């Protein structure tokens, strides 16, 4: 999270970033200091030439002048400074900054970054994907990154006095689950403190972090942790990440228990819609058009109001083992991929989360089959969960408990990938457009982003979920063919068209908002009851 002292940006670089100075006097510097050439100019993509390569003295201000911070948007003088810095970093004068330019230009300014870090900077700002940053892309990257840094600074500044001291660093790291001593906090402080005051002001904070390609800024991650307590009835979400402090104090299992209770409540309340979805996925077709109202009437006529909750018991029971297995698998996979970070990046999170989800689904998949069979069962067909399991085992064998396993596993990747990608997109949009004094978006924005991303994930993986359900139910359809996944896909497309892959989508989406609302309210109450500390 914090970087080594060697990466500290020299004060002369900070003069350029978002800082106005009135009536400055420039002083001359040896032209060799800013106008060198790249060791390998051909390594940068060709671009529009710039007529003159400036010297460092063009933008290095008199240190005797006082600094006055300005807004991120800057003014004409800052625009000039950014142009000069761009030209200084553009060491071969071709109008574009590539990794090679950054390596040489930053070294001349006393800033040392690894090649991997510089590649991340270029990749983050390269909108037209030409392998380098033109001036517009360069400015956009710096201002966007600086805005995030400003939000983090304000979040760390607990006293709201414009400075961060060692106690505030300790408190912020404690919130993230990392306990450090005052001596360690002082060491972190000294690495950023340029004037020896043992506090960090905004300029020092920005200078230290601005040209470092931080993907995971701690305070933003803490506020924007994509929580899996938003139970939408599916179990393919990437699991929650718990801090070291939560693991050490045992708060993690309380979070899991509270989340499990919230999921049980929301699934029970929306069980009629879930059963209707399963019936429509299996029985609805062009020749047998099943609408929502007709489906509910049919269920009540066949088994009474109580039948609306058929299959809900096993759906609730499987929450506990699945959550526990997913959490343990996620922690082990994090270690296997060599991550020692408190929180993972989006790619690592997708890989670890997908593998953890696959492990959990593999372990409890027979329960998924039982849920489908019970939901499709007629009144009196099974006396309970155990009786249903016995019938399947005796008539179809052990293999029946893993019917539809392949499409279920394949559905994890589009679900988790799109869920995380949409959430990150919404998060970044909010931070860029609406964040002003804090990175904390508030409950409503978090719920809206989580619900939207989960819904998009469901939509993307829904055809695979439908095929999975039909494969689970094949033995219940008398005289029906036992088809493989690909054969079933082809059969649905041929007989029902592409819309056949989305049967039951309406009740599925209708239960999203009530599911999220109920799970959030119950989760908050259970957290209080279990003594979970809210951050």
CB 465 within 8 A of CB 233: no
Question: Which tokens belong to 449?
Answer: 């982003």
pLDDT digits (tens, 9 = 90+) for 128-162: 888 888 888 888 888 877 777 777 787 777 788 88
Region label for 75, one of left (φ > 0), alpha (ψ between -120 and 50) or beta (otherwise) = beta
pLDDT of residue 23: 34
Task: Read off the DSSP letter of residue 70.
Answer: -
93-134 pLDDT per residue, tens: 888 888 888 888 887 776 667 777 788 888 888 888 888 888
Residue 474 φ/ψ, nearest 5 degrees: -55, -40
The single-letter DSSP state of residue 534 is: P
Quote the pLDDT of residue 44: 57
Beta-strand relationship, 68-69 and 19-20: antiparallel
SS3 (DSSP) at 119: helix
**Average pLDDT score over residue span 364-374:** 95
CB contact at 8 A, 388 and 382: yes
Residue 19: φ, ψ to 5°: -145, 125
Max Cα–Cα distance, the chain, nearest Å: 93
Question: Coil, strand or helix: which one is 201?
Answer: strand
Quote the tokens at residue 304: 């009474």
DSSP-derived 3-state class of residue 210: coil
Q: Whose CA is closest to 192, among 227, 220, 141, 156?
A: 156
Dihedrals φ, ψ of 23, to 5°?
A: 50, 55
Which pLDDT score, from 0 to 100, does residue 50 have?
42
Please state whether the predicted TM-score (pTM) of the whole model is above 0.85: no
- Indicate whether 193 pLDDT > 70: yes
Alpha-carbon distance values, 206 to 72, 201, 524 (Å) = 12, 9, 36
The number of beta carbons lying within 10 Å of the beta carbon of residue 298 is 15
Per-residue pLDDT tens for 222-253?
555 555 445 555 555 555 566 666 666 677 78
Bridge partners, residue 163, by sequence: 201
Asked if the model's pLDDT at residue 259 lies above 90, the reply is: no
- Between the two ends of the chain, the Cα-to-Cα distance in Å is 19
Dihedral (C-alpha) 111, 113, 119, 125: value to the nearest 10 degrees?
-40
Residue 340, H or E segment: none
13 compared with 81, residue with greater pLDDT:
81
Which token pair is 257?
């228990």
From residue 135, alpha-carbon distances to 38, 57, 96, 239 in Å are 18, 20, 7, 40
Highest mean pLDDT among 225-234, 256-265, 421-430, 457-466: 457-466
Tokens 């390596």 sit on residue: 103
pLDDT in tens, 41-84: 445 555 444 444 444 444 333 333 333 334 444 456 667 777 88
Of residues 530 and 37, more confidence is placed in 530
The residue extents of the domains of the chain are: 76-227
**CATH classification (class only), 76-227:** mainly alpha
């Amino acid at each position: 999270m914090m970087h080594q002292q060697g990466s500290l940006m020299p004060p002369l670089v900070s003069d350029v970033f978002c800082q106005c100075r009135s009536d400055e006097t420039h002083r001359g510097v040896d032209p060799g200091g800013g106008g060198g050439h790249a060791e390998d100019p051909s390594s940068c993509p060709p671009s529009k030439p710039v007529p003159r390569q400036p010297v460092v003295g063009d933008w290095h201000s008199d240190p005797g002048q006082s600094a006055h911070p300005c807004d991120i948007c800057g003014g004409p003088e800052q625009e000039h400074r950014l142009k000069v810095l761009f030209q200084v970093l553009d060491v071969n004068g071709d109008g574009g900054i590539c990794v090679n330019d950054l390596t040489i230009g930053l070294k001349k300014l006393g800033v040392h970054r690894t090649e991997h870090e510089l590649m991340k900077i270029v990749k983050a700002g390269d909108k037209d994907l030409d392998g380098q940053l033109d001036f517009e892309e360069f400015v956009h990257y710096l201002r966007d990154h600086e805005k995030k840094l400003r939000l983090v600074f304000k979040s760390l500044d607990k006293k709201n006095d414009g400075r961060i001291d060692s106690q505030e660093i300790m408190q912020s790291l404690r919130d993230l689950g990392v306990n450090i001593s005052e001596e360690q906090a002082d060491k972190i402080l000294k690495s950023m403190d340029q004037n020896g005051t043992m506090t960090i002001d905004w300029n020092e904070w920005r200078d230290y972090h601005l040209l470092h390609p931080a993907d995971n800024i701690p305070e933003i991650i803490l506020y924007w942790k994509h929580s899996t307590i938003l139970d939408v009835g599916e179990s393919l979400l990437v699991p929650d990440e718990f801090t070291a402090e939560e693991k050490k104090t045992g708060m993690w299992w309380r979070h899991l228990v509270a989340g499990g209770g919230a999921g049980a409540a929301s699934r029970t309340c929306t069980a009629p819609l879930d059963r209707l979805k399963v019936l429509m996925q299996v029985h609805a077709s062009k020749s047998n058009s099943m609408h929502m109202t007709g489906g509910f009437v049919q269920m009540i006529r066949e088994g009474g109001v109580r039948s609306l909750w058929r299959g809900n018991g096993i759906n609730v029971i499987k929450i506990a083992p699945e959550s526990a297995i997913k959490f343990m698998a996620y922690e082990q996979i994090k270690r296997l991929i060599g991550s020692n970070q408190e929180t993972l990046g989006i790619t690592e999170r997708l890989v670890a989360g997908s593998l953890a989800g696959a492990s959990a689904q593999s372990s409890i998949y027979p329960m998924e089959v039982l849920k489908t069979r019970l939901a499709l069962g007629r009144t009196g067909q099974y006396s309970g969960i155990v009786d249903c399991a016995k019938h399947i085992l005796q008539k179809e064998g052990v293999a029946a408990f893993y019917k539809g396993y392949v499409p279920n596993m394949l559905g994890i990747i589009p679900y988790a990938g799109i869920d995380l990608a949409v959430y990150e997109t919404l998060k970044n949009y909010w931070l860029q457009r609406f964040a002003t004094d804090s990175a904390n978006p508030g409950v409503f924005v978090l719920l809206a982003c989580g619900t939207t991303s989960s819904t998009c994930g469901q939509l993307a993986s829904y055809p695979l979920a439908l095929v999975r359900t039909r494969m689970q139910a094949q033995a219940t359809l008398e005289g029906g063919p036992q088809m493989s996944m690909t054969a079933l896909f082809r059969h649905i497309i041929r007989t029902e068209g592409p819309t056949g892959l989305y049967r039951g989508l309406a009740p599925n989406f209708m239960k999203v908002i009530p599911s999220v609302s109920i799970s959030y309210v119950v989760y908050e109450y259970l957290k209080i009851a279990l003594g979970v500390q809210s951050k």
